[in-house]
Amino acid sequence: MKKIIINKKYYGKIELPKTKNAYKLFVLVVKTFSSNENVTLKTIYSHNRLKNFETYQSHGCADELQELEMFIELGAILNFCSDEAKKLKEQIEFVNDNAHVNLDISKSLIIFNKKVPTKTKKAYLFWDIENFSNVSPIFFQIIEPFEIEDENIYVSCNPDSLWLFKAEWEADLYDFGKTINSFNFTKCGHGKNVADGVLLKNFEDIDQREADIYLMTYDRELKERFRDSCHESNNLYVLERKILN
C-alpha cells in the first residue's frame, strides 16, 4: 500500500497496480494536485493516447484499465472529479469486449488438405466477407494470434453486398484501426459465386508454398476449390462444418 502524503497532510493509502507506468502516473496526479491544478485524464495520458482508446487495442488495454481504476480511486481519496475516467474505462471495456464473441473460430478450425500440418513460413487469410461477416472474431481469433499481415489478407465482395453492408463492415473494422482498403480488397462484378472466383484467383496468383492458408467462408464448394488448388506444402485451414448448422 502506498501512503498519500501531500504538503505534510496524510490523505490515505492506495494499492498501486502492478503495471509499468502505475507509479509514474501516481506521481503525476499527486504533483498536479499538490500544485492546486486541475487533475484530469490529460494529467496522465497524452491527447494521442486518449484518442487511441477509441479503437480496439491488442490485449484489451489491461494495464490502462488498472491505471484508470487507480485514477478513480485517487479521485475519491483526494476529492477530485474522476467522471471522465469512469466513462473512458467503460468505453475501453465496451470496445474490447465487443471483440470477444461467442463464436469460437480458432477451436473450430480444421486442416482440410492433409492429416497433419507441416512446417510453414507465412500465413494468409482469404476472407469471404459476404458469407462470413463476423469481423471481430476474425481479428481476435485469426489475424492477431496467427500474426497475419495486412498485405496477406484478401477480401472480395460484389457491388450489391458492398452497397448494403459497407457501412457496417467499416464501423466494425474501425474498432481495429482498419478499413476494407487496408487489405487486398476486390470489388468484383455481379453474379452468383463471382466473389468466390476472385478469392480463388487471388490464391492461385500468389502461388504460395509452405504457408498456412486460412479460408473464412461458409461455402463448402469454395473450400473444395481451394483444396484442389492448394500446393501440398501448404496447410489449408477451414471452419469445421458443425458450427455452421
| CATH number of the domain residue 146 falls in | 3.40.50
Q: Which SS3 state, helix, strand or coil, does residue 83 take?
A: helix
For 50-203, strand residue ranges (E) read 109-111, 122-127, 153-157, 184-187
Same domain assignment for residues 173 and 77: no
Asked if 43 and 28 touch (Cβ cutoff 8 Å), the reply is yes
Question: Would you state the pLDDT for residue 43?
Answer: 94
Smallest Cα–Cα separation from 203: which of 148, 136, 154?
A: 154
Domain co-membership, 23 together with 114: no
Average pLDDT score over the chain: 85
Q: Report the range out of 23-32, 98-107, 136-145, 171-180 with the highest average pLDDT.
A: 23-32
Q: Which of 43, 62, 97 is the last residue of a domain?
A: 97
- The answer to whether residues 208 and 87 belong to one domain is no
Burial of 194 (0-12, 13-18, 19+ CB in 10 A): middle
pLDDT of residue 187: 82
Given a cut of 70, whether residue 127 has pLDDT beyond it is yes
15/42 same-domain check: yes
Same domain, 71 and 127: no
d(CA 105, CA 116) in angstroms, rounded, equals 19
In whole angstroms, give the CA distance from residue 47 to residue 113. 49
User: Among 63, 97, 131, which residue terminates a domain?
Assistant: 97
The reply to whether 60 and 115 lie within a common domain is: no
Burial class (CB in 10 A: 0-12, 13-18, 19+), 21: middle
Owner of C-alpha cell 461477416: 133
Residues 69 and 141 in one domain: no
- The answer on 232 and 139 residing in a single domain is yes
Total number of domains constituting the chain = 2
- Boundary of a domain, candidates 69, 97, 125: 97
Q: Tell me, yes or no, whether 120 and 213 share the same domain.
A: yes
Which residues does 101 contact at the CB level (< 8 Å), separation at least 6?
Answer: 134, 136, 137, 140
Shared-domain flag, residues 35 and 156: no
**In contact, 140 and 95? CB cutoff 8 Å:** no
126, with CB counted inside 10 A (0-12, 13-18, 19+), is buried
> Are 23 and 59 in a shared domain?
yes
Residue 214 main-chain phi, psi, to 5 deg: -105, 120
Most confident segment among 50-54, 162-166, 177-181, 216-220: 177-181
Contact between 41 and 84 under an 8 Å Cβ cutoff? The reply is: yes
* Structural domain harbouring 45: 2-97
In this prediction, residue 23 has a pLDDT band, given cuts at 50, 70 and 90, of very high
Kindly state whether residues 57 and 83 are assigned to the same domain: yes
H helix or E strand, kind and range, residue 170: helix 159-174
CA–CA separation, 32 and 96 (whole Å) = 30
Q: Could you identify the residue written with the cell 463492415?
A: 169
| DSSP bridge partners of 122 | 211
For residue 215, pLDDT beyond 60 = yes
Given pLDDT bands bounded at 50, 70 and 90, which one contains residue 10? very high
Percent of the chain with pLDDT over 70: 87
Cα angle, residue 183 at apex, residues 177 and 185 outer, rounded to 5°: 130
